[in-house]
Amino acid sequence: MRNVFYVLFFFLAAAIFSNCGSGSDLDQPPQIMLGQDPCDECRMIINEVRFAAAYTTADGQRRFFDDIGCMIVHHNKLHESAARFWVADFRDGRWLPAEKALFIVGSEIPTPMAFGVIAIDQEEYAQGQPLQGRQVSFKELLAMKLTPGNPDK
């Protein structure tokens, strides 16, 4: 009887732990610890949320970045299957799904790794002060060949 209890306990514990970190986390914005978490591309510590970006791989792993350009370079280099991309709104630091953001690209935009890319909420863009730079969608941004200091390509 004691062995049956242990077997049941093992399967119950396995079922509980196998559900940790699955599915529902994909729809939750990342939780970056500023001043502690490193960028997965350049390894610099992430210090400013308004430039930050992240994505979740299809198998649930999180990738964090200090610059949107780092995220694009990293993803294009590794070709990981990404379930969701996130970017921080430059104006207020709110996390936005990347497909709902408008990206401003320009060499005069100072970002941590000099990629010159910021994200803002598409719906709120018309209400705010205009930002200098070229406006692109996330799909267009993914297709760009970004390099630090030369975002205008």
- Which tens digits make up the pLDDT trace of 65-79? 999 999 999 999 999
Quick check: 11 pLDDT over 70? no
As a whole number, the mean pLDDT across the chain is 82
Quick check: 2 pLDDT over 70? no
Q: Give me the pLDDT at residue 19, please.
A: 41
Q: Give me the pLDDT at residue 112, please.
A: 93
Cβ-proximal residues to 108 (8 Å cutoff; 6+ apart), any chain: 116, 132, 133
**14-45 pLDDT per residue, tens:** 444 444 444 446 678 889 999 999 999 999 99
Quick check: 152 pLDDT over 70? no
Coil, strand or helix at 136: strand
- Please give the Cα distance from 121 to 87 (Å, whole number): 10
**112-139 pLDDT per residue, tens:** 999 999 999 987 665 666 677 889 999 9
